[in-house]
Structure 1
Amino acid sequence: MKQKMPMIHTLAVGMPKELLDSKGRSMITGIEKQRVQEVYLSSRGFEGDDVADKKHHGGPDRAVCLYPAEHYIQWEQELGKTLPTAAFGENLTVTNMLEAEVCIGDIYKIGDAVIQITQGRIPCSTIDRYTEANILLKRLIETGYTGFLARVLEEGTICADSKVELVEKHPACISVLYCNEVYFKNKDAIAMQQIQAVDALAEDWKEKLEKRIQLLQSKVLN
């Protein structure tokens, strides 16, 4: 069966600003994005787009955030309401690019730009506060439907109707979903080493996995 071509569902950017949640609590966040028809993607990320929390978001390995459009149907059914555009703070809401199919190191050409998948998204509580849903973060982690991040190999303009082409499948074929399952369950040191060995994996993930591997190994020794 031929795999369907990936497509852009929504292209969106946004700068950090103050948002108030349903309890009136203030937060500075870049999660709220607006649809755009065309935007330039540099190695640092999209023009007119940034993150507030530079420690946990952004940087060269996390220049682009992608989220599968298909999951919106499930989340909206579970929550009983419509989610906002780019509800997970993603720049590209995409179809036919599920976590089970997209692998670390896969290279895609989108418009004039070329990106490489670096890691699964590690979601945070801002998602719950922004969408006013107290179960969404928990459900993202349970399902592994977190979306994923990418580095920019070639800068260029991306349009809302740009083609998405898989240029190269990484030979290790370690899917984002598999990485998420291993990362969040935090029990299998051998699987962690297997993921860590993928050259294209984000440095942040390599460091996080190394700490977890050492912790697991120390428990075995003790």
Structure 2
Amino acid sequence: MPGSVRSVNVGSPRRQRVPRGKATGIAKQPVEVIAVADPGPKRVEDGAAVSGVAGDFVGNGKHHGGSAQAVYAMAREELDWWSGELGRELPDGMFGENLTTTGLDVDAAEMGDVWRVGSAVLRVSGPRVPCATFAARMGERGWVKRVAARGRLGAYLAVQEPGQIRPGDGIVVERSHSGVDVPSVLRAYLGDADAAHRVLRARVLHDVGQAELESMHRRAGRTAATGGEGG
């Protein structure tokens, strides 16, 4: 049975403890329809990062927004797993996702997979890396470490063809066969040297992401070579 969209979600600017003094759009709420388009390179306009989802507020222009992070998808099944772990209800959009899916293992997606959903065409472009803003949103002790250890945080998608997406839309996946799944890229970003080597060799990241991971990998190598004192 193919996957489908359970909910489409957008965020409005809201202030929380982290980031201090800045608005975030992580608290996303379901809407009837979203329009998606390629936002182009990461940049800030009118005080917010440019999102691939019309009307979606993205506060951090350094770490969010841009073509490779145009749309964020999370499986409802994963939210349900965390709901059981935490002992509380987690509504659609709780993790800051634009698409809450059902019947699709988002974390089994490989880099470059194409999703045809609604009238849009999306391409799997990377993992979501947990951060302090996410931890403040959840309000759970040790959240970043816990969710990173789980390693199932859904996927970012680039927009290949713009369109509209609604709840109930089916998701047709065209596999890329890149051989690199999204959790492997997450592990690479979190410091797993073997995963970083494999991801870099496969060249499945966009140009900026490739350069960032190469830099991180080099720094980690220098630190290891000097006994942890840095280069």
Same fold, TM-score > 0.5, yes or no: yes
Which of residues 36, 59, 68 is equivalent to 2:31? 36
Alignment partners' CA distance in 2, 1:81 and 1:96: 22
Tell me whether 1:164 sits opposite 2:168 in the alignment: no
What code does the residue aligned with 1:74 have? W
Alignment partners' CA distance in 1, 2:210 and 2:120: 25
Q: Deviations over 1:115-140 (max 9, x none)?
A: 11111111112222112222332221
Alignment partners' CA distance in 1, 2:21 and 2:91: 19
Tell me whether 1:205 sits opposite 2:200 in the alignment: no
What code does the residue aligned with 1:51 have? V
Q: Is the deviation greater in 59-68 or in 33-42?
A: 33-42
Alignment partners' CA distance in 2, 1:216 and 1:132: 30
Alignment partners' CA distance in 1, 2:78 and 2:175: 23
What code does the residue aligned with 2:214 have? E
**Aligned-pair CA distance for 1:209:** 1.6
Match of 2:86 in 1: 79
- Do 1:99 and 1:175's aligned partners in 2 also have CA atoms closer than 8 Å? no
**Aligned-pair CA distance for 1:39:** 1.9
- Which secondary structure state, in structure 1, belongs to the residue aligned with residue 211 of structure 2? helix
Q: 1:172 to 1:85 in 2, by over 3 A?
A: closer
Alignment partners' CA distance in 2, 1:52 and 1:100: 25
Q: 1:220 to 1:29 in 2, by over 3 A?
A: closer
Q: 1:177 to 1:66 in 2, by over 3 A?
A: same
- Which secondary structure state, in structure 1, belongs to the residue aligned with residue 190 of structure 2? helix
Tell me whether 1:18 sits opposite 2:15 in the alignment: yes
Structure 1: gaps (5+ residues): none
- Do 2:203 and 2:210's aligned partners in 1 also have CA atoms closer than 8 Å? no
Tell me whether 1:126 sits opposite 2:126 in the alignment: no
Match of 1:141 in 2: 148
**Aligned-pair CA distance for 1:11:** 0.8
- Do 1:8 and 1:94's aligned partners in 2 also have CA atoms closer than 8 Å? yes
1:25-104 equivalences in 2 (<5 Å): 27-44=22-39, 45-104=52-111
Number of equivalenced pairs: 213
- Do 1:105 and 1:169's aligned partners in 2 also have CA atoms closer than 8 Å? yes
Q: 1:18 to 1:199 in 2, by over 3 A?
A: same
- Which secondary structure state, in structure 1, belongs to the residue aligned with residue 121 of structure 2? strand
Q: Is the deviation greater in 111-120 or in 8-17?
A: 8-17
Alignment partners' CA distance in 1, 2:203 and 2:38: 19
Match of 2:186 in 1: 180
Alignment partners' CA distance in 1, 2:105 and 2:170: 17
Alignment partners' CA distance in 2, 1:127 and 1:216: 25
Alignment partners' CA distance in 2, 1:59 and 1:221: 35
- Which secondary structure state, in structure 2, belongs to the residue aligned with residue 114 of structure 1? strand
* TM-score (normalizing by structure 2): 0.82
